[in-house]
């Protein structure tokens, strides 16, 4: 379903960023598999800098690998790989009679030991643990520095990494491919023939490096139809243009030349040097005598003047004032942050402005942020602390701030221009389908009109309409993109091709929603209408989230009908009730997890588990997996639902404040 971001927004207003962990020894280089390491085709015990996201494209011997690697923790990294193999003769699924075979795989690499004075770094890895098994292999590897420029690596591998000149065998290992893949192949891990691999890397300077290796991969799956393995030795060089782009070239297996290009992004470091944001307003300091002056309270015109001044000053910062509550010694403002993706920036700038406009007798400052017109998290600070610690480290002011989410006494003086309010946009958008089993990328280009009409606090009507300009999403294979229901034959996501047919105009969604606070810790939402591209109906959601708790609990229930394929106002006969109970937990250090259990669109029951790492600047990288009572055979390609999501704040890329994000955010 088209899940609301209201509840995730509520949680975001009450969470503080965590302190990152220390990083172990790292390497700047990436190999042909997209894994951090100084060799070419073989793994090492090295890791990337904590949090680094690296995209690599490599090609040799008729194989092109597109890799996306993420250093999840200082020791643990994961790699998603989408490979295209030209003229692979060992394709075991007759449903894919392709000249080029496409394969998806996933790796994990964990550094067990750091390097010491005499001890090498040691790592263990699983390659292709959730795929067809084409690249299946496991390894234990050690890497040791010799001097400041040379690193020596040696290891033992199983699977592909045990296929050349094996010296022993540990149990038996199945060798056939796993069809559509998607399930963990536990019965293969660290089993079968074992072989040794080794290599050495030399870093000439900050930009140039060389490598030589002895490979234990005989490339038996590819065979001579793709290329001929004449030697186990590979030779390569790597060149870094800057901290982002790297190029590698190699001579491999005595018969092939290889090349790889990688782009590394550090979510903790913006590519835009400095920034174009204006400096915040300085805090206005009071003198001791003015702070005791309460004479302004007798002037009936002062409060309207204060409201007008706050509204104007906050608007210049990209912050909308929705309400204000002020008395002789305290003031609270209700704001809508329209500019900053980091909520604390909006709070800080608001309090600075309050210090410049409010009468000197006002000592207690409180800023409450609104989400869809609903008051959510609040920050309270003594004005004297704001004056004393204006230029101190943020930790000093954080110790004195109080966080709350009290739903009582919300009798704000509402700013007249806040409601009703219309927001809209029109322009081109791109809808993507990536990593399909027989096509790397499909896309439609749409002309989209989107709008939100905020009727009153908590009441929002929204819609999105599009017209297809061009694209090829309607070429998606039928019944290959999701679950096939028994009755009707196409009830769920397998109908994506049919919804992409025709140009339109089409209704992406058209809803009216009510958001609200049910108590101090309880939030709710009800939505009615055309909820998403494929389903219409009614959806309700509640969330229990105490402000100082790492745990939040929620529930959602929906009753929906499948929409017509032309995405007009018509509905089909298929109707279903779905619902989930959810648990959200802040694990610390930027990691958030979510568990959803309940009923899904095809009537099956199951669980979705997700894990996301969010950085202090808004970057988020995560993954999810769903397993239900639906069998792998009935699900089709991939066996069960799973995916990776990346959300990039535009402020990080542009160097200026923006509340916009590129990519899906965790719900």
pLDDT in tens, 156-190: 999 999 999 999 988 888 877 765 556 677 888 89
pLDDT of residue 247 exceeding 50, the answer is yes
pLDDT value at residue 662: 77
Q: Do domains 6-14+420-456+458-662 and 290-418 have the same CATH topology?
A: no
Lowest mean pLDDT of 113-117, 403-407, 560-564, 660-664, name the range.
Answer: 660-664
Residue 482: pLDDT band (50, 70, 90) is very low
Helix (H/G/I), strand (E/B), else coil: 633: helix
pLDDT of residue 90 exceeding 60, the answer is no
Task: Report the mean per-residue pLDDT for the chain.
Answer: 85
Considering only residues 90 and 202, tell me which one the structure prediction assigns the higher pLDDT: 202
Rounded distance between C-alpha atoms, residue 262 and residue 67, angstroms = 9
User: Tokens representing 178?
Assistant: 């796993």
User: Tokens representing 42?
Assistant: 């073989």
Lowest mean pLDDT of 65-74, 128-137, 378-387, 473-482, name the range.
Answer: 473-482
Contacts of 654 (CB under 8 A, 6+ apart): 272, 276
Q: What is the mean pLDDT of residues 129-148?
A: 90
Contacts of 288 (CB under 8 A, 6+ apart): none
Residue 637: pLDDT band (50, 70, 90) is low
Entry pTM: 0.83
Please give the C-alpha separations between residue 613 and each of 73, 380, 590, 619, in angstroms, as whole numbers. 9, 28, 5, 8
pLDDT of residue 439 exceeding 70, the answer is no
Beta strands in 204-255 (DSSP E): 208-214, 233-240, 245-252
Q: What is the DSSP letter of 45?
A: S
Closest alpha carbon to 334 in 321, 351, 347, 316:
321
Instruction: Enumerate the domain spans of the chain.
Output: 6-14+420-456+458-662, 53-265, 290-418
Cβ atoms of 139 and 125 within 8 Å: the answer is yes
CATH topology of domain 6-14+420-456+458-662: Porin (2.40.160)
Q: Which phi and psi (to 5°) does residue 308 adopt?
A: -65, -40
Helical H segments across 493-621, by residue range:
496-500
Q: What is the mean pLDDT of residues 448-474?
A: 92
pLDDT value at residue 23: 44
pLDDT value at residue 636: 57
pLDDT in tens, 486-543: 554 445 667 777 888 888 899 999 999 999 988 889 999 999 999 999 999 999 999 9
Instruction: Give the full edge-to-edge strand order of the sheet including 364-371.
Output: 402-404, 374-382, 364-371, 330-337, 319-326, 413-414
Domain over 53-265 is classified CATH 2.40.160.40: yes
**Residue 245, strand partner residues:** 263
Closest alpha carbon to 132 in 171, 162, 93:
93
pLDDT of residue 281 exceeding 60, the answer is yes
pLDDT value at residue 171: 85
pLDDT value at residue 6: 44
Q: Which phi and psi (to 5°) does residue 397 adopt?
A: -75, -30
Rounded distance between C-alpha atoms, residue 205 and residue 510, angstroms = 58
Closest alpha carbon to 15 in 332, 343, 338, 269:
343
User: Tokens representing 28?
Assistant: 């700047």
CATH topology of domain 290-418: GMP Synthetase; Chain A, domain 3 (3.30.300)
Considering only residues 222 and 666, tell me which one the structure prediction assigns the higher pLDDT: 222
User: Tokens representing 438?
Assistant: 């027989």
Residue 450: pLDDT band (50, 70, 90) is very high
Q: What is the mean pLDDT of residues 246-253?
A: 96
Rounded distance between C-alpha atoms, residue 438 and residue 435, angstroms = 8
Q: Which phi and psi (to 5°) does residue 91 adopt?
A: -65, 120
Lowest mean pLDDT of 42-51, 456-465, 647-656, name the range.
Answer: 647-656
Rounded distance between C-alpha atoms, residue 355 and residue 545, angstroms = 31
Separation of CA 102 from chain center: 24
């Amino acid at each position: 379903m088209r899940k609301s971001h209201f509840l995730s927004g509520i949680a975001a207003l009450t969470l503080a960023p965590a302190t990152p962990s220390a990083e172990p020894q790292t390497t700047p280089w990436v190999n042909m598999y997209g894994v951090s390491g100084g060799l070419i085709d073989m793994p090492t015990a090295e890791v990337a800098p904590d949090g680094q996201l690296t995209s690599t494209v490599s090609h040799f011997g008729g194989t092109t690998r597109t890799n996306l690697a993420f250093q999840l923790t200082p020791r643990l990294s994961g790699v998603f790989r989408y490979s295209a193999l030209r003229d692979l003769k060992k394709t075991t699924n007759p449903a894919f009679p392709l000249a080029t075979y496409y394969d998806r795989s996933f790796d994990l690499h964990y550094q067990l030991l750091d390097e010491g004075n005499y001890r090498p770094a040691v790592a263990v890895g699983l390659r292709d643990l959730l795929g067809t098994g084409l690249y299946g292999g496991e390894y234990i590897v050690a890497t040791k520095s010799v001097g400041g420029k040379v690193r020596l690596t040696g290891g033992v591998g199983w699977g592909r990494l045990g296929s050349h000149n094996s010296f022993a065998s540990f149990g038996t290992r199945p060798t056939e491919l796993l069809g559509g893949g998607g399930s963990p192949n536990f019965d293969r891990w660290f089993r079968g023939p074992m072989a040794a691999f080794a290599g050495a890397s030399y870093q000439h300077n900050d930009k140039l490096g060389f490598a030589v290796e002895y490979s234990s991969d005989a490339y038996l799956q590819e065979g001579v139809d793709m290329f001929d393995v004449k030697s186990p030795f590979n030779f390569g060089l790597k060149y870094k243009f800057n901290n982002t782009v790297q190029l590698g070239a190699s001579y491999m297996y005595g018969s092939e030349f290889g090349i790889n290009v990688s782009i590394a992004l550090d979510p903790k470091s913006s590519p835009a040097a400095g920034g174009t944001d204006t400096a915040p307003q300085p805090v206005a300091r009071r003198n001791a005598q003015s702070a005791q002056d309460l004479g302004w309270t007798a002037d009936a015109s002062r409060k309207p003047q204060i409201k007008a001044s706050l509204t104007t000053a906050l608007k210049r910062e990209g912050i909308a004032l929705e309400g204000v509550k002020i008395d002789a010694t305290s003031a609270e403002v209700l704001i809508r942050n329209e500019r900053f993706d980091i909520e604390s920036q909006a709070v800080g700038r608001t309090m600075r402005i309050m210090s410049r406009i409010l009468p000197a007798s006002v000592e207690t400052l409180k800023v409450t942020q609104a989400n869809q017109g609903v008051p959510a998290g609040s920050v309270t600070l003594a004005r004297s602390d704001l004056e004393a610690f204006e230029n101190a480290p943020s930790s000093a002011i954080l110790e004195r701030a109080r966080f709350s989410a009290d739903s009582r006494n919300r009798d704000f003086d509402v700013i007249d221009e806040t409601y009703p309010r219309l927001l809209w946009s029109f322009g081109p958008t791109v809808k993507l389908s990536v990593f399909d089993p027989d096509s790397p990328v499909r896309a439609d280009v749409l002309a989209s009109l989107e709008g939100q009409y905020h009727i009153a606090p908590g009441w929002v009507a929204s819609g999105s309409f599009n017209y297809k300009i061009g694209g090829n999403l309607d070429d998606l294979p039928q019944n290959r993109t999701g679950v096939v229901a028994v009755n009707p034959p196409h009830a769920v996501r397998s109908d994506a091709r049919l919804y992409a047919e025709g140009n339109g105009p089409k209704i992406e969604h058209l809803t009216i929603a009510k958001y609200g606070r049910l108590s101090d810790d309880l939030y709710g939402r009800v939505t009615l209408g055309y909820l998403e591209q494929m389903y219409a109906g009614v959806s309700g959601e509640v969330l229990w989230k105490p402000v100082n708790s790492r745990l939040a609990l929620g529930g959602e229930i929906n009753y929906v009908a499948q929409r017509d394929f032309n995405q007009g106002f018509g509905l089909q006969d298929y109707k279903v009730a779905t619902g989930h109970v959810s648990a959200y937990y802040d694990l610390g250090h930027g990691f958030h997890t979510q568990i959803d259990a309940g009923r899904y669109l095809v009537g099956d029951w199951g669980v979705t588990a997700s894990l996301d790492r969010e950085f202090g600047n808004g970057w988020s990288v995560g993954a999810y997996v769903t397993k239900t009572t639906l069998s792998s055979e009935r699900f089709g390609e991939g066996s069960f639902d799973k995916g990776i999501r990346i959300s990039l704040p535009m402020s990080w890329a542009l160097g200026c404040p923006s509340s916009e994000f590129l990519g899906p955010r965790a719900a």
